[in-house]
Amino acid sequence: MLRLTAKFALALAALLPLAGQAQEIPSIRLAYAKCAQCAPLSLAPAYASNVKLEAIGFSTGSDSLTALVSKNVDVAQVTYQHYAIALDKGFDVVAISGHISGGSQMLVGNSLPIKENDWAGLKKVIADYKAAGKPFRVAASRGNAQDIHMRGAFLKQGIDINKDVQFVNIPNPSDHVQALRRGEVELICSVEPFATQIRQAGAAKFFAFPYDQASGKLTSLILTRSDVIANNPKGVEEAVRAIVKVNDAMAASKPLLVETIQKVSGLEQAVAAGAVDNLYPEYMMYRRPALAIGAMMRDLKYINNDVSAGIDKNMDFRFLEAVTGKPKAALGY
């Protein structure tokens, strides 16, 4: 009996280290917004290994940022613009990966005599509205990439965003189509796949891609906090690894990207298929353009402070370097 007990004790002792190892698997909660760019992150748990990765969907990138800074999640998909806003407000955020870019379209009301990429025609219509004492109303979801893309494009074209147009904030991009149908705005800058949905529904017509400004096509950025890096560096690394794998899968298979967008957004396949041509999966982080975005946002008076030092300091390339085997010089630094 004593021999059996001793053998059982030895067997149990041998198992205990394994149980301890199982408990050491890190956990990461990942927030993402339910837009076309962000939808692929819903697949991140399936591409994750050596980490318990939970992907949580939010309505907007602003909601994802709020969840991150309030410590309800560990990692969040936001935008380069959110990054600058967070630093301006003094939040503890660290950029660790890119994700996907593009996804912006500027659309105008069907009745307006404005042709594609005709900025002179747009400025004439805006001047006509001003002469008639009517506001020319433009809309976006305040704080998202499309909002800043549009404001930057206006700035580049000499349109005064404080005097020439009236901004309307429509927080949920899924509401953009109805605002256009009801004639509540003359122009809107929307995110995919909702921009494609608007066009396919005939609620507005295409005006321009607002990429001719400091942000370019840059949109999505992955953030965490310094305490998460300090306490759970392996979890952060494995989360970045999963994101890189998702990006590679999306870049290699448009059908998979279409299927994922359709599943997350609930929109028709034709809408999702139309959106993917305006999306550019890339996990690199672009430091110099990020600095230009911060400067542009200050020029637009969207932020109050010079955040260039914070942008530079809080872009941590270590995890991308570990995952890809590339130096930061090849990853956008």
Task: Give the pLDDT confidence of 208-256 residue by residue, as tens digits.
Answer: 999 998 889 988 999 999 999 999 999 999 999 999 999 999 999 989 9
Boundary-marking domain end, from 163, 180, 208: 208
- Domain co-membership, 38 together with 55: yes
- Domain co-membership, 91 together with 230: yes
- Domain co-membership, 149 together with 234: no
- Domain co-membership, 77 together with 109: no
- Domain co-membership, 197 together with 246: no
- pLDDT of 11 higher than 90: no
Q: Which residues constitute the domain of residue 202?
A: 104-208
- pLDDT of 294 higher than 60: yes
Answer yes or no: is 133 within a domain. yes
Percent of the chain with pLDDT over 70: 93
What is the residue-averaged pLDDT of the chain?
Answer: 89
Answer yes or no: is 16 within a domain. no
Answer yes or no: is 18 within a domain. no
- Domain co-membership, 258 together with 183: no
> Residue 8 — pLDDT band, cuts 50, 70, 90?
very low
- pLDDT of 207 higher than 60: yes
- Domain co-membership, 113 together with 140: yes
Average pLDDT over residues 193-217: 92
Average pLDDT over residues 275-290: 92
Position 33 scores a pLDDT of 86
Q: What is the DSSP string of 203-218?
A: SSEEEE---SSTTTT-
Edge-to-edge strand list for the sheet holding 75-79: 52-58, 27-33, 75-79, 220-224, 94-98
Boundary-marking domain end, from 208, 241, 268: 208
CA angle 118, 124, 129 (to 5 degrees): 130
Q: What is the pLDDT of residues 115-165, one digit of tens each?
A: 999 999 999 999 999 999 999 999 988 878 888 899 989 999 999 988 999
- Domain co-membership, 56 together with 137: no
> Residue 23 — pLDDT band, cuts 50, 70, 90?
low
Q: Which residue has the higher pLDDT, 83 or 162?
A: 83
Answer yes or no: is 260 within a domain. yes
- Domain co-membership, 315 together with 167: no
CA 169, CA 185: separation in Å to the nearest integer? 10
> Residue 315, exposed/middle/buried by CB under 10 A (0-12, 13-18, 19+)?
buried
Boundary-marking domain end, from 208, 236, 254: 208
Average pLDDT over residues 259-285: 88
- Domain co-membership, 36 together with 92: yes
> Residue 300 — pLDDT band, cuts 50, 70, 90?
confident
3-state SS class at 24: coil
Q: What CATH code is carried by the domain that includes residue 119?
A: 3.40.190.10
Position 122 scores a pLDDT of 97
Answer yes or no: is 17 within a domain. no
Q: Which residue has the higher pLDDT, 7 or 52?
A: 52
Percent of the chain with pLDDT over 90: 68
Worst-scoring range by mean pLDDT, 5-9, 138-142, 180-184, 192-196? 5-9
- Domain co-membership, 165 together with 88: no
- 198: Cβ contacts below 8 Å, ≥ 6 apart: 107, 176, 177, 180, 188, 190, 204
Position 265 scores a pLDDT of 78
CA 154, CA 89: separation in Å to the nearest integer? 25
- pLDDT of 67 higher than 60: yes
> Residue 325 — pLDDT band, cuts 50, 70, 90?
very high
- Domain co-membership, 155 together with 253: no
3-state SS class at 94: strand
Our count of domains for the chain comes to 2
